[in-house]
Amino acid sequence: MAGLWIENTTSVTGSTSSTSSTSKIMGKEEFLKMLIAQLKNQNPLNPLDGTEFTAQLAQFSSLEQLQNVYTELKALSQRQASLNNSQLVSLIGQEVTVKGNAFTAAGGPVGLSYDLTQDANRVWVRIYDQQGGLVDTITSTNQKTGTNSVTWSNTGSLTGNFTFEVTAADKAGNAISVSGITSGIVTGVNYREDTPYLIVDGKEISVSDVLSVVRPESS
């Protein structure tokens, strides 16, 4: 009987070594099978110590709980992503204000906005066409910290896509940090590499660049 026990133990040990060499991550099913095999092949004259057995059962319980937590978190993440996607689709038809310097002109005046980090003595708004050519420059004075706006008269009744660049200086002539702000109607939502983008005036806008959302006034 002792010889038979030694042979079985050797077989189980070899199987366990093979399993650990092919897979470094042990699931709860593999762990349970190993524990059962260990109980079946233990030496009757030297049974598994009760404390050690209890510790192994605790490890199995912890492994199972961790896998259950992972499963729940994965399901929660999927539900949250689905909810976020539904909320983004609801933005279609809404007017959003976003960080950016691109806009579209339809032959008439265009309002342009920008955000100043401090009071500015002078502000220059330069407007460029799609080829990067300077179209117009608007100069303003005594602008306050925060969001400010100017109107490009567009006297040439130009149409198409444009960009604007804003620079500002304080009374001492030091440059002031400033960022452009544009607005438009959301016409769609694109998903690329699991990242959503709003379609505004034919351009993709990152959701993180959205500053505000308003319902456009009925015409």
* Domains of the chain: total: 2
Which secondary structure element, helix H or strand E, spans residue 163, and what is its range? Answer: strand 159-169
Q: Give the model's pLDDT for residue 171.
A: 92
pLDDT of 110 above 50: yes
Measured distance CA(113)–CA(87) in Å, rounded: 27
Range of the domain at 10: 1-61
Is there a single domain that holds both residue 100 and residue 203?
yes
Residue 11: pLDDT above 70? Answer: no
Residue 82 has pLDDT above 70, yes or no: no
pLDDT band at 158 (very low <50, low <70, confident <90, very high): very high
Domain annotation covers residue 155: yes
Say if residue 121 is in the same domain as residue 38.
Answer: no
CA-CA distance, 44 to 50, in Å (whole number)? 14
What's 201's domain CATH number? 2.60.40.4070
Q: Where are the alpha helices (DSSP H) in the chain?
A: 2-22, 28-40, 50-89
Q: Would you say 68 and 128 are in contact if contact means Cβ atoms under 8 Å apart?
A: no
| Domain assignment present for 76 | no
- The verdict on residue 103 lying in a domain is yes
In a shared domain, residues 42 and 99: no
Domain boundary among 12, 35, 61: 61
pLDDT for the residue numbered 98: 84
Q: Comparing 43-47, 65-69, 160-164, which segment has the lowest mean pLDDT?
A: 43-47
Mean pLDDT of the 85-94 span: 75
> How confident is the model over 136-159, as a mean pLDDT?
92
What pLDDT, on a 0 to 100 scale, did the predictor assign at position 86?
A: 66
- Cα separation, 110 vs 96, in Å, equals 16
* Residue 197 predicted with pLDDT over 80: yes
Statement to judge: residues 121 and 198 lie in one domain? yes
Verify that 53 and 6 share a domain, yes or no: yes
Q: Is the pLDDT of residue 80 over 90?
A: no
User: Is 24 among the domain residues?
Assistant: yes
Question: Does 84 fall in a domain?
Answer: no
Name the pLDDT band for 136 (thresholds 50, 70, 90). Answer: very high
What average pLDDT score do residues 126-131 get?
A: 93
75 in any annotated domain: no
